[in-house]
Structure 1
């Protein structure tokens, strides 16, 4: 039961962070990195570019997970170029949020990095 509560709090905090980071007129490079991190994780993308003016996202999605290791330089990785359009960046990023355990741990890391909140405090 506590785990479900923690999941809800992490997702709510991520929702708030996405809202805060995507509603500013001048999105800082720090928030651009946040947006790219969320998209990389959700789409398993090796490279992500966001054109905030044209409302487009270009990324190279990894086709085979076994070929890609983010900790090393990958010379040969099968990717597929993807070009997406969005109307509202915040809404689009919120659709990328998922509840699996590894992704929640990733979100906890992002929350600590971008809000200076410890996830242990969210559980209280």
Structure 2
């Protein structure tokens, strides 16, 4: 039997898959906002922009590549980084972490971006 953290990560993987298979990939799409929020959390970035046509993720962060993800928002020192990807779904899934702070954050994303009107399976979790 899976524990709650595993269920949360499984549900996040499903939401990531759904967001990447959504027909509209514009900046107005709510799944775009989900992907952007997930990347901002993972990279501890002040801003994130996705370019689906070029296959790039642009980050504004104060982190250097060696320390990316440890200090929060030293905006005066923010610098842009561009990351290329070949498969957005796999890239986003690679951003999933298992610490307690991340799990709490994922629960809030699931609550916000999963459609309430969709049927809930037996493995559903509460936020």
Please state which band the TM-score falls in when normalised by the shorter chain.
Answer: 0.7 to 0.9
Distance 1:26 1:38 in 2: 18
Could you say which residue in structure 1 is the equivalent of 2:96?
A: 97
Residue segments in structure 2 that go unaligned for 5+ positions in a row: 64-69
Could you say which residue in structure 2 is the equivalent of 1:16?
A: 14
Could you say which residue in structure 1 is the equivalent of 2:114?
A: 115
2:68 matches 1:62: no
Shift of 1:78: 1.8
Q: Secondary structure at the match of 1:33?
A: helix
Distance 2:125 2:25 in 1: 26
Shift of 1:79: 1.9
Shift of 1:116: 4.5
The list of structure 1 runs, each at least 4 consecutive aligned residues, that deviate by more than 4 angstroms after superposition, is: none
Distance 1:85 1:25 in 2: 21
1:37-74 per-position Cα deviation (integer Å, ceiling 9, x unaligned): 010000000010000111111111233736x3xxxxx8
Bigger share in helix: 1
Q: Which structure has the higher relative contact order (CA within 8 Å, separation 6+)?
A: 1
CA RMSD, 1 decimal: 2.3
Distance 2:53 2:24 in 1: 11
Normalising by structure 1, report the TM-score.
Answer: 0.80
